[in-house]
Chains A and B, each alone.
Chain A
Amino acid sequence: SAVISQKPSRDICQRGTSLTIQCQVDSQVTMMFWYRQQPGQSLTLIATANQGSEATYESGFVIDKFPISRPNLTFSTLTVSNMSPEDSSIYLCSVGRTVSSYNEQFFGPGTRLTVL
């Protein structure tokens, strides 16, 4: 497994502002992902954070709204830009590990964002 920490753990922000969430892993990992979890719902993949290249975004998510950095194999950031109340969610960082032919993922504790 991997120990994953996220900062901040929670924040309350004003609409129109931006927030950068940090994810730190205790070991080098190849696969790193960002998920969003809206209140009472399941997880939706935002993007795969690629080390040394641009992130790969899922349908419905764009780089201008959710810029991602991955400067090395243990760290990534997700920025939620020009926030609106609809961005209020839990944002989760995840790392993947390949075991035989399947992947397991481990998650950080999440960042609870409230946009007023």
Chain B
Amino acid sequence: TQLLEQSPQFLSIQEGENLTVYCNSSSVFSSLQWYRQEPGEGPVLLVTVVTGGEVKKLKRLTFQFGDARKDSSLHITAAQPGDTGLYLCASRTYSSASKIIFGSGTRLSIRP
């Protein structure tokens, strides 16, 4: 079974600080996605990374895909209260290319 482990599980920081969330697996990913979920809503896709070593930026968010395509990180610069939410990495399964499985999640809280 392909598992996606995220760390940390919870993170509470002050507004303006930087943070990094990690997603790891013992398996190689063909691609990896990051989603953010706010209370009362479904997850929303932030980015897809497909190439080992790839870095993508989305405003204050920087996503990196590991060279070996087994891990990924999400770095947020100068966190704001609006960044609060559940961050989920996700990847498709090997048994079915159409299905996506989700990591364990990182719950982020930004204090004003």
**Which residues of A (81-116) have their CB < 8 Å from a CB of B?**
92, 94, 96, 98-110, 112
Interface range on chain B: under 10, 10 to 19, 20 to 34, or 35 or more? 20 to 34
Q: How far does the alpha carbon of A107 sit from the alpha carbon of B42 in the complex, in Å?
A: 5
Q: For B68, what are the chain A residues with a Cβ–Cβ distance below 8 Å?
A: none
Q: How far does the alpha carbon of A105 sit from the alpha carbon of B44 in the complex, in Å?
A: 9
- Of A41, A44, A102, the residue contacting B50 (CB under 8 A) is A102
Would you call B62 an interface residue if the criterion is a C-beta within 8 Å of the partner chain's C-beta atoms?
no
A102 touches B92 (CB 8 A): yes
- Which residues does A use to contact B, with CB under 8 Å? 4, 31, 33, 40-45, 48, 92, 94, 96, 98-110, 112
Would you call B80 an interface residue if the criterion is a C-beta within 8 Å of the partner chain's C-beta atoms?
no
Q: Could you give, for residues 78-111 of chain B, a 1 whenever the CB lies within 8 Å of some chain A CB and a 0 otherwise?
A: 0000000010101010001111111111010000
In this complex, the member of B41, B43, B104, B107 whose beta carbon has the largest number of chain A beta carbons within 10 angstroms is B43
B101 touches A45 (CB 8 A): yes
Chain B proximity of A68: nearest CB distance (Å): 15
12 A–B contacts, CB within 8 A, in A order: A42-B104, A42-B105, A43-B102, A44-B102, A99-B48, A101-B31, A102-B48, A103-B98, A103-B100, A106-B45, A107-B42, A109-B40
**Which residues of B (34-93) have their CB < 8 Å from a CB of A?**
40-45, 48, 50, 86, 88, 90, 92
Would you call B30 an interface residue if the criterion is a C-beta within 8 Å of the partner chain's C-beta atoms?
yes
Q: For B105, what are the chain A residues with a Cβ–Cβ distance below 8 Å?
A: 41-42
A101 touches B30 (CB 8 A): yes
B40 touches A107 (CB 8 A): no
Q: For A104, what are the chain B residues with a Cβ–Cβ distance below 8 Å?
A: 33, 45, 48
Given contacts A48-B99, A101-B30, contact A107 B44 (CB under 8 A): yes
In this complex, the member of B33, B86, B99 whose beta carbon has the largest number of chain A beta carbons within 10 angstroms is B99
